[in-house]
Amino acid sequence: MSTVDLVRGGSRGVTSTLRAIGIARVLLRHRLDDFLKPTVLGPWLWLLKPVTPRRSGEGELPRGQRLRLALQELGPIFVKFGQVLSTRRDLLPPDIAQELTLLQDRVAPFPGEEARALIEAALGKPVSEIYSEFELTPLASASIAQVHAARLQDGREVVVKVLRPDIRKRINADIQLLRTLASLADRHHPNAEKIRAQEVVSEIEATLFAELDLQREGANASQMRRTWLGSDDLYVPEVFWDYSTETVLTMERVRGIPSDDVAALDAAGIDRKALAAKGVRVFYTQVFRDNFFHADAHAGNIWVDAERRDNPRFIAIDFGIVGQLDRRDQYYLAENFMAIFQRDYRRIAELHIEAGWMPSHIRIDELEAATRSVCEPYFTRPLSEISLGEVLVKLFKTAQRYELTLQPQLILLQKTLLNIEGVGRLLDPKLDIWAEARPVLERILRERYSPQRLGEEFRKRLPELITHAPDMPRLLHDFLAQQVRGQHSIHMRSEDLAELARISKAGQRQTVYAILGTGLMVVAAVLVGLDAGGPRLFGIPAAAGIAGLGAFGAFLAAWPRR
C-alpha cells in the first residue's frame, strides 16, 4: 500500500472517529446515555459529558421521542435511517418503533438554479425546451431529492423530482460510518445477536440506494398505474418517460387532501366511512391479488381526491419503496390471516412450520398454545377495536422465541399494515377491519385456486412440460432399474430423518407411484398439446385415459402409509 493510500486511510479514520464523537455528543445532549453505555464509547462518557450541555426539560420526555429528536438533529441521512429502522419492529421496543414512524423527511432545499442545471445535464436539453414553465422554488424537499412544479409544452401540469447533488457520496460516507458503529455493536453490545446490526445496516443501504434510482421509482409507479387504471378506489399518476432518467423523474401533477387531515376531508364533504373501508380493501388487494404494494403508505404519500365526495378515491404518490412477497410467503400469509379470522390456532401453528418460517422440530402443540395466548385476549374486544397488524406483530414476536426467521419483506408488510390500519381508524374509529379484509381474501384465494386459474397455469407450463417429456421415459427407467438392483439410496440431512429409514419400503413404493403418475400425466399433456387428445379407444381420447391412470398413480402415492 502506498504512502498516499495510508494517509487517505488515516484521514478517513480520523473523520469517522470525529463523526462518531459528534454522534455521541448529540445523543448525550438528548439524555440518551443508555444507548451509549453498552458500546465502545461507554467508558468515555465521563470525558464527553462535561463538554456536552444537556437539553433542558428533555429528561422528562419519553426515550423514543428523545431518540427521534436526536436523529433529526443528526441530519437527513439519519432521519432516513430512523424511518427504515422503524420498519424493523422485530428488533425494536414498541415505544421506540412507534415514535420513529413520526420522523419527517423534510430538509432545507438546495437552490432551484442548481436543480435546473442537474435536470438539463440529465436530459441533455435546456429546461425551456422540455417544459413551457418550470418553478425554481421547490414544492417539497427531502433528504434524497426535491420536487419542482412544471408544465409540459402541450400544457399538461407535471412535477419534476431531481436527486440532491452529491447525495451518493454523502450516503456512502454515512453508510460506512454506520458499518463501523454496527461492528462496534457486534463486538460490545450484550444483545448483539438479537440486534443483528450489520443486517439492519444492509437493509438501510439497500433501501437508500433503491431510492437513488428514480427510474426504478418511475417503473414502480407505472406498474401500479397499469394495475389500477380506471379504478374508483385508487389513482396513480402517469410517468412521462421521455423526460425521466435515473436522476430525474417527471410525473403527472395531482392534487388532493392528505389522508390524515380529517378537518379538510369533512370540509370537502368526503364520506370518511366509505373511504376507510376502501383503504383496507385496496391494501389487501395489492398484497394478495397484485403482489405489489405501496410500502411507504403514510398520510404524506396517500392523498384523497377532493372532487369525489360520495364515491371517494385515494391518490398514491412517491413509489420509492414497494413490497412484494414470493408465492409461498404470499400463500402462507393469506392462509394465516384466514386462520386468524376463524380462530384456528392449530392451523396457524402448522402454517408457520409448513412455510419454513420455523424449523420442523418445533412442537405443534406448544406453538398452538403460544398462538392461543396471543390471539384470545383480542377476541374479547369488539371486532371494530381489533388491529390485525397488531395481532400479526405479536404473533411474530411470540414465534421468535421458537426460532422464527422472517424475510425483510414480511417485516415491511407488517409496518405497512399498521400504517393502513392507523389511517383507516383515524378516518372511521368504528372501522371493522376484519369485516372488510375477509371477503377480499376469500375472493382472491377462491379465484387463485379455481379450476380455471389452475388450467391457465397448466397451459403456461405446457411448453416446459413438453420440453422435458422426452427425458421422462429414460429417468423412469433409470429409477426403476435402481429399485430392482437395490441401488436406490436416500441422502439423510438430519438425525430427525432417521425415522424414515424404517418406512423406506412403503416410501419407495409411493415414490414409484408418484413418478409413474407424473410421467403419465406429462404424456397426456404432450398428446393434448400436439393433437387435441391423440388417438381414441372406444371413443375415449387416449390422453384422457392416460391422464386418468396418472391421477390414479398420484392417488396411490398419496394413500397413507401403514
The C-alpha atoms of residue 383 and residue 387 are separated, in whole angstroms, by 9
In the chain, what are the helix, strand and coil shares in percent, each to the nearest 5?
65, 10, 30
Are 438 and 343 spatial neighbours (Cβ–Cβ below 8 Å)? Answer: no
Q: Could you give the 3-state DSSP secondary structure of residue 31?
A: coil
Alpha helices in 304-387 (DSSP H): 327-341, 345-354, 364-375
Grid cell, residue 63, equals 426515550
Radius of gyration in angstroms for the set of CA atoms belonging to the chain, rounded to a whole number: 29
The C-alpha atoms of residue 457 and residue 461 are separated, in whole angstroms, by 6
> Phi then psi for 559, rounded to 5 degrees?
-65, 135
Biggest CA–CA distance in the chain, Å, is 98
Residue 152: in which H helix or E strand, if any?
strand 145-152
User: Active site includes 296?
Assistant: yes
For residue 429, the 8-state DSSP code is: T
The C-alpha atoms of residue 59 and residue 36 are separated, in whole angstroms, by 16
By DSSP bridging, strand 322-323 and strand 145-152 are unpaired
Residue among 504, 480, 479, 481 nearest 491 (CA) = 504
Grid cell, residue 484, equals 430392482
How crowded is residue 54: how many other Cβ atoms within 10 Å of its Cβ? 13
Q: Burial, 408: exposed, middle or buried (Cβ in 10 Å; 0-12, 13-18, 19+)?
A: middle
Q: In three state form, how does the secondary structure of 305-320 look? A: CCCCCCCCCEEECCCC
**Candidates 5, 105, 266, 296; catalytic one:** 296
Q: Could you give the 3-state DSSP secondary structure of residue 116?
A: helix
> Phi then psi for 328, rounded to 5 degrees?
-65, -50
Q: Which residue has the cell 406429462?
A: 522
How crowded is residue 58: how many other Cβ atoms within 10 Å of its Cβ? 15
How crowded is residue 243: how many other Cβ atoms within 10 Å of its Cβ? 20
Residue 147: in which H helix or E strand, if any?
strand 145-152
Grid cell, residue 507, equals 416410501
Residue among 406, 407, 411, 400 nearest 362 (CA) = 400
The letter for the amino acid at 200 is V
Give the N- to C-terminal CA distance of the chain in Å, as an integer: 69
The C-alpha atoms of residue 369 and residue 363 are separated, in whole angstroms, by 10
Q: Could you give the 3-state DSSP secondary structure of residue 63?
A: helix
The letter for the amino acid at 181 is L
For residue 104, the 8-state DSSP code is: -
Catalytic residue set: 296
